[in-house]
Amino acid sequence: DTGVSQDPRHKITKRGQNVTFRCDPISEHNRLYWYRQTLGQGPEFLTYFQNEAQLEKSRLLSDRFSAERPKGSFSTLEIQRTEQGDSAMYLCASVPAILAYNEQFFGPGTRLTVL
Amino acid sequence: GQQLNQSPQSMFIQEGEDVSMNCTSSSIFNTWLWYKQDPGEGPVLLIALYKAGELTSNGRLTAQFGITRKDSFLNISASIPSDVGIYFCAGQDNTNAGKSTFGDGTTLTVKP
């Protein structure tokens, strides 16, 4: 499978615990985006990387959230001291270098449930 | 910030019927995208629109980029049961970020 992959697909955690999600973009896609989607709503932008550089962060990304893309390939999203309001689907998308940033290819998402 | 209003919120139709849904924005977009999302999966791109007035088809799907650049619509002709899902519009502005602003989706149910 050469699409965007995300791991884990589901995560259940207790409030206050830390969680980390991983995204593997399509090979040679240099832009990587993180979105959050709650039930009944469309995805909301969180942050994006061009290669290893994090170029923009949304106001939604509080201090408890941190994202990295150390080698410009896979990315991780960590949430510290999780809260019930963090329960959502976390989606990753990647864009190839050739296209003009428009057509984002999404992964299957990580469903986070905070108890 | 930018907001997208997508309507209708849900649709219940009979197999074979045509479907139309639309998105309006409070601000101008340079790109409109339409996605379909199945339960538990990420959105899958259906159609991308890059120019005002552009009309693009993908099989039974047709989408248009509004002339004002503040709206777009998606039509599905001769619906089939596998069209069931949530359809999202998304807009991208003229910055280089390429991030998308999404509507809240139209849930489509097709009755055989």
Candidate from A34-38, A50-54, B34-38 with smallest mean pLDDT: A50-54
- Contacts of range A56-63, beta carbons closer than 8 Å, 24 or more positions apart: A56/B97, A56/B99, A60/A36
Q: Which amino acid is at A8?
A: P
> Judging by beta carbons within 10 Å of its beta carbon (0-12, 13-18, 19+), is residue A24 exposed, middle or buried?
middle
| pLDDT(A48) > 80 | yes
Long-range contacts of B56-62 (CB under 8 A, 24+ apart): B61/B34
B33–A103 C-beta distance less than 8 A: yes
Q: What does the pLDDT look like over A56-100, one tens digit per residue? A: 999 888 899 999 999 889 999 999 999 999 999 999 999 887 655
Confidence (pLDDT) at B72: 97
The predicted pLDDT at position A102 comes to: 72
**B56 at interface of A, judged by CB pairs closer than 8 A:** no
Question: CB–CB of B99 and A31 under 8 A?
Answer: no
| Rounded-to-integer distance, Cα A35 and Cα A92, Å | 6
CA distance A3 to B27: 32
pLDDT at position B57 is 96
Establish if B90 touches chain A: CB-CB under 8 angstroms.
yes
Query: CA torsion sign, A81 to B1 to A69 to B43?
Result: positive
**Secondary structure of residue B40 in the 3-state scheme:** coil
On whether any CB of chain A is under 8 Å from the CB of B100, the answer is: yes
The C-alpha of A25 sits at a distance from chain B's nearest C-alpha, in angstroms, of: 13
Q: What is the pLDDT of residue B46?
A: 95
Looking at the predicted structure, is the pLDDT value of residue B1 above 60? Answer: no
Nearest residue in chain A measured CA to CA from B30? A102
Residue B21 to chain A, least CA–CA distance (Å): 15
| Residue type (1 letter), A107 | G
Q: Touching check for B99 and chain A: CB below 8 Å?
A: yes
Residue listed under structure tokens 């999966």: B41
Q: What is the pLDDT of residue B16?
A: 97
For residue A14, give how far its alpha carbon lies from the nearest alpha carbon of chain B (Å).
Answer: 21
Non-local CB neighbours of A108 within 8 Å, separated by 6+ positions: A4, A5, A6, A9, B40, B41, B42
d(CA B109, CA B23): 19
**H, E, C per residue of A14-58:** CCCCCEEEEEECCCCEEEEEEEEECCCCCCEEEEEEECCEEEEEC
What pLDDT, in 10s, does the model give residues B72-90?
Answer: 999 999 999 999 999 999 9
**CA B48/CA B102 separation, integer angstroms:** 14
Eight-state DSSP code of residue B77: -
Q: How far apart are CA B49 and CA B73, in angstroms?
A: 11
Shortest CB distance from A42 goes to which of B41, B42, B105?
A: B105
pLDDT (tens digit, 9 = 90+) per residue, B23-56?
999 989 999 999 999 988 999 999 999 999 999 9
